[in-house]
Structure 1
Amino acid sequence: MKARFLGIDDLTDVPSVAVVVDVMRAFTVAAWAFARGAEKIVLAGSLDDARALKDRHPDWVAVKDGPPAPGFDAVNSPGLLRSVDLAGRTVVQKTTAGTVGALAVKESELVLCAGFVVAEATARLLRARGSDRVTFVVTGEDGRADEDLACAQYIAGRVTDPAGTDAAGFLGRAARSRAAAELAEGVRQGVHPDDVALCLEADRFPFAMVAASEGPLMILRPCAIPQGPDGDPV
């Protein structure tokens, strides 16, 4: 597999296969939402779009970055979301980087959204598909976020050399990242003390997350990847 690692603003074409990475915290939150029972996640293009969707669908759960705000039910924190019952619910998510990155590649044939918590399942899906060219979209810090790059490189390694790619070094880089420091030091708002640790749980969930256009909306859904005794998809 030939992998390239680009920031959102570096995208000059429509990739066939795109893996959009936001470790801290959009796609860790998305994975937790599915683990808590959410049926689907609508990736909103703006805060106004998210509010409008919430107004039209009062039963949907709207999530945003930063502190609580009118029109939103929750903030983009895995530590806070993990106790919320989302069984059968639709979540609307708008974040600074992750949702922006996913919408930037919405014309791609396959769009996966990922963090460390779904890294192995994402790699298994890519292996099962036999993708020979994959664009990893590093969403944070204009493409320079080392936690996102580390996760992208970990997934790429698990695709091409699963036996020789261990999570420890990649997680260490993410733990030392600027985003991790800002979350730990309270620079960012809407934070739970466990957020960094939850973002650094490699391969916690057995599903990948696939985004696709459904009518006018970009919808993220979980995709279970059955695994055989040899570790390969079945």
Structure 2
Amino acid sequence: MIFSKKITLVYNVINLLKNIFLLSIVFFFCKLVNLQAMQQSAITAEKHQWQKSSRTIDLEARFLREEELIHTVELALTQYKNIQLVNLQDHAVKLAADLPNQLQVTVVIDAFRAFTTAAYVLEQHPNSYRITTKSEVIARLASACKHPLLIGKSERGAALAYDIPNSPTRVAELSVTGRSVLHRTEAGAKGIFLAQNADIILVAGFVNAEATAEYIRKLVNPKITLAPMGHEATTPSLEDHVCALSIATLINNEKITIEKFIPALRKGSGSYFFSQDQWQYPHEDFKRCLEMGQPSFAIQAIIKKDYAILRRCQ
């Protein structure tokens, strides 16, 4: 009897140890699977974080590069003592402080794309060409015109329908001759109104940089101010600064090539022209906006209260 109980006890102990062993194996494999899942999750999270960090670094590098190039252009412009480069915020203040007995000439620059578009419009000899910053002004002027051409797009809060975007390519596709053209743009038009204290206001992009410089060279003792308007007239842009440098060098009878800036422009603000929205930003605009000498004539802006008239310089 006692022997039988001992055998039963041993058997139970063996079964208990067996079960403990099996449970240990199951626990070990569960823990191993869970650990592998956690490691994979950590690796995936780290990979996503690296990718996000990499994209951030790329973007920061792009903007840093553009800022460096803009700074380089600004330094290059300091060698021209007969020309001043103005910041957007203090533009009107500086003009008002200049000597009154000197002819004040301000060149407002918007290469991507307002004043490139303007050159393409004026090349076709419209009946009239007016530019402003507000859709309500465009609507008022349009109500008094027969078959006007509305260029641009509505600002936030406005709902006016425009015929074509602010694009030289879209202008080139139309017949503008004899039509009344009404153009809404933010940066370029704002720059015109900021320059209201100048005796002569010129507007320019790369297309008419040479003609603008030639016009200025014929003036007697001008005080020349270059106003690159940048992105929405809020932050500097490489294209407008390079255009300013182009005009400054041409005024001083020097040569300049912009080819070295094109890769940075292609990756920066020019990238819009290679997006999916080809109606608003056709890729042909990139080439047209950087093509110097075509069309080629200086353009003057004459302010009329809440809009300005653009016309070829005589």
Number of the residue aligned with 1:229 = none
Tell me by how many angstroms 1:203 deviates.
Answer: 1.2
2:145 to 45, 57, 72: 57
- Over residues 6-29 of structure 1, what are the superposed CA-to-partner deviations in whole Å (9 max), with x where a residue is unaligned? 232231233621100000100000
Alignment of 1:79-158 (within 5 A): 79-141=169-231, 142-158=234-250
SS at match of 1:219: strand
SS at match of 2:94: coil
Number of the residue aligned with 2:113 = 25
What residue identity is the alignment partner of 1:218? Answer: A
Higher Rg of the two aligned structures: 2
Number of the residue aligned with 1:159 = 251
Q: Partners in 2 of 1:112 and 1:138 — Cα distance?
A: 12
Runs of 4+ in structure 1 over 6 Å off: none
What residue identity is the alignment partner of 2:94? Answer: D
Structure with the greater relative contact order (CA < 8 A, sep ≥ 6): 1 or 2? 1
Tell me by how many angstroms 1:187 deviates.
Answer: 7.1
**Higher strand share goes to which structure?**
1
Are residues 170 and 138 of structure 1, via their aligned partners in 2, closer, same or farther at CA, if it must alter by over 3 Å? farther
Are residues 18 and 188 of structure 1, via their aligned partners in 2, closer, same or farther at CA, if it must alter by over 3 Å? farther
Give unmatched runs, 5+ long, in structure 2.
Answer: 1-80, 97-103
Tell me by how many angstroms 1:185 deviates.
Answer: 2.9
User: How many positions carry a matched residue from both structures?
Assistant: 221
RMSD: 2.5
1:192 to 278, 282, 304: 282
Kindly indicate whether residue 106 of structure 2 is the aligned counterpart of residue 14 of structure 1: no
Are residues 127 and 44 of structure 1, via their aligned partners in 2, closer, same or farther at CA, if it must alter by over 3 Å? same
Q: Partners in 1 of 2:108 and 2:312 — Cα distance?
A: 14
**Higher helix share goes to which structure?**
2
2:312 to 195, 202, 222: 222
- Over residues 198-232 of structure 1, what are the superposed CA-to-partner deviations in whole Å (9 max), with x where a residue is unaligned? 101111123110111357642110125xxxxxxxx
Are residues 36 and 171 of structure 1, via their aligned partners in 2, closer, same or farther at CA, if it must alter by over 3 Å? farther
Are residues 9 and 198 of structure 1, via their aligned partners in 2, closer, same or farther at CA, if it must alter by over 3 Å? same
Q: Partners in 1 of 2:250 and 2:153 — Cα distance?
A: 30
Tell me by how many angstroms 1:31 deviates.
Answer: 0.3
- Over residues 11-60 of structure 1, what are the superposed CA-to-partner deviations in whole Å (9 max), with x where a residue is unaligned? 12336211000001000000000112224321213121112211222432
Give unmatched runs, 5+ long, in structure 1.
Answer: 225-234
Are residues 196 and 66 of structure 1, via their aligned partners in 2, closer, same or farther at CA, if it must alter by over 3 Å? farther
- Over residues 167-206 of structure 1, what are the superposed CA-to-partner deviations in whole Å (9 max), with x where a residue is unaligned? 3347537734622122323479712120111101111123
Matched-pair contact (CA < 8 Å) for 2:116–2:206: yes
Q: Partners in 1 of 2:139 and 2:119 — Cα distance?
A: 22
Matched-pair contact (CA < 8 Å) for 2:131–2:309: yes
Q: Partners in 1 of 2:260 and 2:198 — Cα distance?
A: 27
| TM-score normalised per structure 1 | 0.84
